[in-house]
A and B are shown apart, each in its own frame.
Chain A
Amino acid sequence: MDIGSWQSQLRKGAAELVLLSVLTRGEAYGLEILGRIRAGGDLVSEGSLYPLLARLEKAGRIAGRWELPAEGGNPRKYYSLTPEGAALAEAMRAAWVDFRTTITTLVEDQP
């Protein structure tokens, strides 16, 4: 079995949870979000981050707003969780903890 494609499926499934969790720490724009995620490991890349942000915004889980930095330069799109997104993040976190416990029992605790 191709371990690479299975791993990429795992990453894809986790990306939404990771993104929402990272935004519970406060508003951020794309590059900042990527920085926060990379600080914890290499789970999401530019190539998947922006399309995922677009979907979550369309679905009303996050809200985006454009801002010009005070020091000049590039306009940036800042994202924050909507109340719906915050509730989803919390529900996903709880489901993840359950899932992790199950998997740990089944997979890691083998004698």
Chain B
Amino acid sequence: MTEPARLIADYVRRLRWSLQVIPAEDRDSLVREIESHLTDSLAAGHDSLEAAIAAMGPPHAMAARYIQEFRLAGALGDDRPAPLIHALLIRSGRSVAAFGGVLAAMLLYLFALCFAAVAIVKPLFPSHVGLWSLPRGSAFGILTDPPAAPEMMGVWILPLALAGALACYALATLVLRGTGRHVLRMTNP
């Protein structure tokens, strides 16, 4: 590898490394574009390559500007559900995927809430929360009028309900983010 080619490869490698928070598909495209620009600059002469690199600044500074602009476009994964739901609801009238995604995520958040309620209420009213096997099927959750049949889970319902709440919450957020990316790709082909 010649010295300028190594300069380019090095810059591109560091840039890719600093762009970890950008989704892989976008990151590849951004990095390839910079590589293309630097290669074109080199074709115009070594000075031109150095000027281009100087204008871009160090790879981490360049990456910081990319990340800032992605935030502005609202295109970065955001873990807070409210803005995601809001953004998708706006689009849900136009996109079946957005509507389905929001619906699925809302249901999952509801499940998470129920699991959390089970975990919170169990220590307060131990006899009203649990899993019962009844002749007409089993009952799980919080019952105002608990059946006479023996409760089957005891305190184990607490960690299980907490795990269930976390799992539903995480899954709902994943669904939202996945839908968000899908919808973005539809609107920006």
Interface residues of A (CB under 8 A from B): 29-31, 45-48, 50-52, 54-55, 57-60, 63-64, 66, 73-77
Q: Are A52 and B55 in contact (CB under 8 A)?
A: no
Q: Are B65 and A30 in contact (CB under 8 A)?
A: no
| List of B residues within 8 angstroms of A50 by Cβ | 30, 33-34, 37, 56, 62, 66
* Number of residue pairs spanning A and B whose beta carbons lie under 8 angstroms apart: 74
| List of B residues within 8 angstroms of A57 by Cβ | 188
User: Does B32 lie at the interface of the complex (its beta carbon under 8 Å from any beta carbon of A)?
Assistant: yes
Q: Chain B: interface residue count, which band?
A: 20 to 34
| List of B residues within 8 angstroms of A66 by Cβ | 29, 32
Q: Are A74 and B73 in contact (CB under 8 A)?
A: no
Q: Complex: how many Å from CA A29 to CA B43?
A: 16
Q: Are A48 and B65 in contact (CB under 8 A)?
A: yes
Q: Complex: how many Å from CA A57 to CA B188?
A: 7
Q: A50-B30, A75-B32 are in contact. Are A55 and B56 (CB under 8 A)?
A: no
| List of B residues within 8 angstroms of A75 by Cβ | 32, 36
Q: Are A58 and B34 in contact (CB under 8 A)?
A: no
Q: Complex: how many Å from CA A48 to CA B56?
A: 8
Q: Complex: how many Å from CA A48 to CA B69?
A: 10
| List of A residues within 8 angstroms of B61 by Cβ | 47
Measured CB to CB, the nearest residue on chain B to A52 is: B69
- Not counting A54-B26, A58-B75, a sample of 19 additional A-B residue pairs whose C-beta atoms are within 8 angstroms of each other reads A46-B55, A47-B62, A47-B65, A50-B56, A50-B62, A51-B65, A51-B68, A51-B69, A55-B69, A58-B70, A58-B188, A59-B75, A59-B188, A66-B29, A74-B36, A74-B40, A75-B32, A75-B36, A77-B29
User: Does B90 lie at the interface of the complex (its beta carbon under 8 Å from any beta carbon of A)?
Assistant: no
Q: Complex: how many Å from CA A66 to CA B29?
A: 9
